[in-house]
């Protein structure tokens, strides 16, 4: 595919990754992780950051070797065959669609207080349509918009950290020094190791989206230099900001005061008479979710194009230009369907969508690591880059075992068990779909082969008859009479 633009820089790629990662899953969904693990959630975020480090640099080694669109799906297909490429591509796409549907529901709930006359499904639908249309602008324009929105989110987190430090230290604000505050009455390990394990799905979900670096590698002019730089910037920014925000948050408000429908940062600031800051954080939260959806749609459209180019999706979804219009539109319609089911399903809808989407993403990361292991065995280090994953193969196996453990621990948190079941059923559905597709393709090939064989035999018979009849005309008349 010819690129008509100069290509994304490392900073633009980083801001796009941060735009995908930092969203409602952190500003709102982190409540679930904190309630599950208590203050020990700090350990969960550190472990999650280490896993992200391993996964990202595993992706980087493969990406600098072959910066193709839909990169990690393409790698798994080359290493393990078309079946794995089909399943991981569609499971990832579906998981991200479910996750973004949950984000649309979250932002609709937040906007309801300002526009009560507009129904939640209508607000969610308008938001999804807006995100779909904006993605039609292309990578260059979208990256500039995404960079601005990502900067707002990052500045908001930095602002919260600064306010939190001032509250804790008692400097500059008209409140008594908080010190360790709410941490005095908290049990550090309220649920033990099980609490940390149960929180890891949501923690990993707050990191989810970093793989867009791989999907967007084809949009860069020099991926061998740009991608590793972007990965380093992304890991440092994410782990540093998340840890600092959680460490500052815990002394400000008791964990039993958290609500799944209000950002813990907003609650903490409001509790200490900083309602204006909480109001600003609410606006930032809405901006964060929209930014996440924009960046996620960027990856979804390119994943569909990768599947269609590889013959793993209907050819009607195939795009030839820089912008995968059909893949973006198809993903937008799928989000609307996910939004519809999100509102008609009873119970903890947000947790269900997050957990089922989280399973799909964890499954994808597991396949990425397994693919990277075999890739390194067969190819060694990237041809134009250095080995970047430290401690290989031990670090790779640690990450693989950790991801399997996180998936198995999902039922430890209420609401996540149904997401695990849904994720397994989703994977089995795509495995079945691939087997059916393979059966019909094989049958069609056999039928075509039989037709070609019959035509070939018919042609040979006709040719021999024509040759025999024609050759008789060249025989002497006496021999021709004798032959007859």
How do residues 115-135 score in pLDDT, each as one tens digit? Answer: 888 888 888 899 999 989 888
Indicate the range of 66-75, 255-264, 388-397 predicted with least confidence. 66-75
Q: Does residue 109 register a pLDDT over 90?
A: no
Q: Place 475 in a pLDDT band, splitting at 50, 70 and 90.
A: very low
Mean pLDDT of the chain: 79
Residue 68 has pLDDT above 60, yes or no: no
pLDDT confidence of residue 215: 62
Mutual angle of helices 139-169 and 223-249, in 10-degree steps? 30
Question: How high is the pLDDT of residue 432?
Answer: 93
Structure confidence at residue 42 (pLDDT): 92
What is the reported pLDDT for 428?
Answer: 92
In the predicted structure, residue 287 carries a pLDDT above the cut 60: yes
What is the crossing angle of helices 275-309 and 264-271, to 10°? 170
Residues 424-448 pLDDT 10s = 888 999 999 999 988 887 776 666 6
Among the ranges given (25-34, 376-385, 408-417), the one the predictor scored with the smallest mean pLDDT: 376-385
Kindly list the domain boundaries of the chain, sorted by start residue: 10-430
Question: From CA 36, how far away is CA 198, in angstroms rounded?
Answer: 7
Superfamily, domain 10-430: Amino acid/polyamine transporter I (1.20.1740.10)
For 70, 168, 210, 244, 246, the CA distances from 163, given in Å and listed in that order, are 41, 9, 28, 12, 13
- 220 three-state secondary structure: strand
pLDDT value of residue 470 = 44
Once rounded to an integer, what is the mean pLDDT over residues 161-180?
81
Tens digit of each residue's pLDDT (9 = 90 or more) over 322-361: 788 888 999 999 999 888 877 776 555 666 767 777 888 8
């Amino acid at each position: 595919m010819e690129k008509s633009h100069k290509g994304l820089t490392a900073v633009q790629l980083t801001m796009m990754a941060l735009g995908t990662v930092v969203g409602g899953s952190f500003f709102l969904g982190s409540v679930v992780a904190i309630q599950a693990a208590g203050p020990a959630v700090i350990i969960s975020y550190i472990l999650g950051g280490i896993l992200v480090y391993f996964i990202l640099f595993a992706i980087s080694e493969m990406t600098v070797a072959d910066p193709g669109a839909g990169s990690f799906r393409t790698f798994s297909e080359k290493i393990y065959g078309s079946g794995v490429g089909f399943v991981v591509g569609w499971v990832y796409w579906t998981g991200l669609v479910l996750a973004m549907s949950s984000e649309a529901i979250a932002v609709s709930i937040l906007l309801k207080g300002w526009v009560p006359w507009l129904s939640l499904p209508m607000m969610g639908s308008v938001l999804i349509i807006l995100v779909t249309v904006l993605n039609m602008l292309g990578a260059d324009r979208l990256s500039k918009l995404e960079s601005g929105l990502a900067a707002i989110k990052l500045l908001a987190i930095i602002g919260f950290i600064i306010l939190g430090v001032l509250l804790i230290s008692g400097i500059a604000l008209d409140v008594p020094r908080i010190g360790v505050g709410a941490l005095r009455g908290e049990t550090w390990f309220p649920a033990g190791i099980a609490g940390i394990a149960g929180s890891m799905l949501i923690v990993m979900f707050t990191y989810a989206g970093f793989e867009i670096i791989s999907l967007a590698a084809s949009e860069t002019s020099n991926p061998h230099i740009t991608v590793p730089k972007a990965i380093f910037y992304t890991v440092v920014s994410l782990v540093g900001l998340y840890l600092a925000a959680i460490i500052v948050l815990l002394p400000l408000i008791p964990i039993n005061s958290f609500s799944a429908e209000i950002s813990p940062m907003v609650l903490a600031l409001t509790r200490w008479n900083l309602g204006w800051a909480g109001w600003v954080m609410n606006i930032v939260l809405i901006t964060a979710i929209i930014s996440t959806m924009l960046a996620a749609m960027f990856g979804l459209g390119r994943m569909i194009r990768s599947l269609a180019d590889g013959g793993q999706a209907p050819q009607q979804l195939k795009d030839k230009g820089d912008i995968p219009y059909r893949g973006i539109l198809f993903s937008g319609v799928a989000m609307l369907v996910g939004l519809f089911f999100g509102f008609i399903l009873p119970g903890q809808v947000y947790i269900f969508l997050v957990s089922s989407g989280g399973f799909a993403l964890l499954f994808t990361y597991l396949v990425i690591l397994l693919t990277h292991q075999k890739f390194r065995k067969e190819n060694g280090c990237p041809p134009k880059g250095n080995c970047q994953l430290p401690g290989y193969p031990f670090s790779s196996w640690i990450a693989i075992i950790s991801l399997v453990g996180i998936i198995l621990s999902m039922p430890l948190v209420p609401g996540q068990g149904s997401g695990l079941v849904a994720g397994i059923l989703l994977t089995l559905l795509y495995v079945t779909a691939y087997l059916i597709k393979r059966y019909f393709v094989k049958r069609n090939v056999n039928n075509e082969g039989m037709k070609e064989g019959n035509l070939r035999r018919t042609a040979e018979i006709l040719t021999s008859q024509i040759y025999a009849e024609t050759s008789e005309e060249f025989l002497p008349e006496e021999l021709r009479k004798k032959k007859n």
